[in-house]
Chains A and B, each alone.
Chain A
């Protein structure tokens, strides 16, 4: 009896969590240009409509470009930093670690505002407008996802058995060979997790990017947000459904490499 109550409570809470996602996917197939229950019929029409919408299409492309570049930079620089932070003892190590993780503590909206006034200051003094291109967004998102890369790759390094590297050394391998043939392959799990997690965190971020976007350089969540402030219809539901599918695919890939419950 208690078991039944317990499992129905858990089911109810989890249903509450997925409810909005289920509804947005359902609405995307409604054969009606506005929101109406029950739907008069079902159609794939809104996906084609969404793909033709230049704002959403550009948003999707901008998001992909920004996310791909920012994730790559952050995984490389995060991996290097994680190796040093995990394997070397030096004064100020804790402080440096805290500094690299600080984007997680400061409100994203504050980070976005600080970057916005910084980019404007750069535009005023150096006449380089970082907001009118994707560069500003890439800088912002690299900073945003760097702590995840440091944390995930670092956690992987802490759990690594160093005796394999020592064995390779004892057998005469040079330090470079040890790194590329032993350490790097062992780091794979952490690197994959860092890359995919950076991708997801950056892809869905809104607050940080709000001020540093410009026409033609707007990310998908911001395009969705601006649309939603005036309309709620099957077109935006279709756009959201595509985004949900992308995230779901990435989630399944990530889960094959690392236990998701360990990293969130």
Chain B
């Protein structure tokens, strides 16, 4: 069997199930929409300009970007110390701790959203406990709020952040901190001037990865945010499934993909400059 023949099945699958469908979707995004005929063959940019003229969709995009940024930042602040601990510990529980990090990731977003529902509901665990302790008189509304979406998404992305950071931190030679401390640096300075710059590539990769995951989140915002909380992926799904406006839905799909790629590019440029500044 020749090498090129061995490439055929895999390449064929991607061409058939990804490249061709994506090209058709791109073509559809230039079509026009008519409420009676649905999609009309055309070549127009109306669907793209509509996105920038409708305050609703701008709001959805702003919500998506805000939630994604907040979650990324929070996951970095919570994840870094955990990753640092996992990378430096000599505990015999290390592999157990890593399994504990990976396991929720593999259980799936829907199941975890269901778990948060049992905690956040009006008759959920948190409200029952708070009322029993007489801290509150009536249940607090936690489901279908920005808070529940934030917590749910943070729980989804945190394992990715921890594992990425841990991978990078593990490759760092920690005897460097000892050298810095021997030369008179305080532990904090040694961390800030030696370990932090060396782990910056991990911070960049982890942040970009989890940001993309947040931008494209579907099940968590739908289940924990409810119908009134709109993010891009659910809005996109609605355009195709409920509104049956394929051209506009197709345009939204490419806007979301582009926004994700653009945000990724900007942040990787930022990190590269920061890395250079730190090296200088």
Which residues of A pack against B, CB within 8 Å? 6-7, 9-10, 13-14, 16-24, 27, 35-38, 73-74, 76-78, 80-81, 83-84, 88, 90, 96, 99-100, 102-103, 105-111, 113-118, 121, 139-140, 142-143, 146, 150, 200, 203-204, 206-207, 210-211, 221, 224-225, 228-229, 232, 236-237, 240, 243-244, 247-248, 250-251, 255, 260-261, 264
Contact = CB atoms under 8 A, between A and B. Distances in A.
Nearest to B19: A99
Interface of B: 3-4, 6-7, 9-11, 13-14, 16-22, 24-25, 28, 78-79, 81-82, 85-86, 95, 97-119, 121, 123-125, 128-129, 155, 158-160, 162-163, 166-167, 212, 215-216, 218-219, 222-223, 233, 236-237, 240-241, 246, 249-250, 253-254, 256-257, 260-261
B100 A18 contact: yes
Contact of A142 (B13, B95, B109, B240): B13
B113 to A, nearest CB: 7
Contact of B7 (A96, A143, A261): A96
A17 B96 CA distance: 14
Interface centre among B25, B121, B261 (most CB of A within 10 A): B25
B216 A10 contact: no
Contacts of A76: 9
A232 B86 CA distance: 35
Given A113-B25, A260-B98, A232 B118 contact: yes
A251 B108 contact: no
Nearest to A87: B3
Given A19-B115, A228-B223, A37 B13 contact: no
Nearest to B98: A261
A17 B100 CA distance: 8
Given A9-B81, A102-B18, A113-B253, A24 B104 contact: no
B149 to A, nearest CB: 14
Given A20-B114, A108-B216, A251-B102, A113 B250 contact: yes
